[in-house]
A and B are shown apart, each in its own frame.
Chain A
Amino acid sequence: DVKVTQSSRYLVKRTGEKVFLECVQDMDHENMFWYRQDPGLGLRLIYFSYDVKMKEKGDIPEGYSVSREKKERFSLILESASTNQTSMYLCASCKMTGKSSGNTIYFGEGSWLTVV
């Protein structure tokens, strides 16, 4: 069974703290993604990666960075957390099959981050 695991389900952090959200997938997928989901705004793409050490900005990268040192692991980093980063964060992965095929995206269960 395919699995995307997010290490923390619920976190509470203080403003200004550095926050790491970790994600691991066991499907040998090339592509990995970080989304955030907010009421009324839906899912928005923060960053994605298509290979180890490769990263691309999504729609809302400001205030975030990412790290992909191993194929199975993709980390989201909030360098200095702010209250407007309180949200649900979703990690996802899929195979890289090129433009000729639509790919199923597999999501983790989400990490609820509250910044106080």
Chain B
Amino acid sequence: SQKIEQNSEALNIQEGKTATLTCNYTNYSPAYLQWYRQDPGRGPVFLLLIRENEKEKRKERLKVTFDTTLKQSLFHITASQPADSATYLCALDEASGYSTLTFGKGTMLLVSP
């Protein structure tokens, strides 16, 4: 069966450290993988998109890797800040043309001062 797995337990880190979140998938062939941030009671907000032929993508303090052999994406936030505390969702796009994303359940990140 198809599965997208993100750590269900919250990730607690100290301010200034690098946070690393994992997204593993089974029985999907995504052409793209996206990461979203969701604050409590709000809609998700797009952060980064990475294509299947890209190994790594960066945007400011954010870095995403995509390994189609391992079927895994890693999402890194360097020099983390308390304002980075949120739930982070990965989403797979199998390039149907309609952008019908399939989302993981998300991992909550808590950054302590």
Contact = CB atoms under 8 A, between A and B. Distances in A.
Interface stretch (B19-27, B78-86, B91-99): B91-99
A4 B44 CA distance: 12
B51 interface: yes
Contact of A43 (B93, B96, B103): B103
Given A102-B51, A103-B99, A43 B42 contact: no
B100 A45 contact: yes
A104 B106 CA distance: 18
Chain A interface size band reads 20 to 34
Contacts of B10: none
A43 B106 CA distance: 9
A63 B106 CA distance: 26
B113 interface: no
A48 B105 CA distance: 20
Contacts, number: 67
B31 A105 contact: no
B34 interface: yes
B28 interface: no
B1 to A, nearest CB: 13
B34 A102 contact: yes
Contact of B104 (A4, A42, A45, A56): A42
Contacts of B41: 110, 112
B104 A105 contact: no
A41 B97 contact: no
Nearest to A90: B43
Contacts of A43: 44, 89, 103
Residue among A42, A94, A112 with max Cβ neighbours from chain B (10 Å): A42
Given A45-B101, A102-B95, A110-B41, 4 more contacts: A41-B105, A43-B44, A48-B98, A102-B93
Interface of B: 31-32, 34, 36, 41-46, 49, 51, 89, 91, 93, 95-106
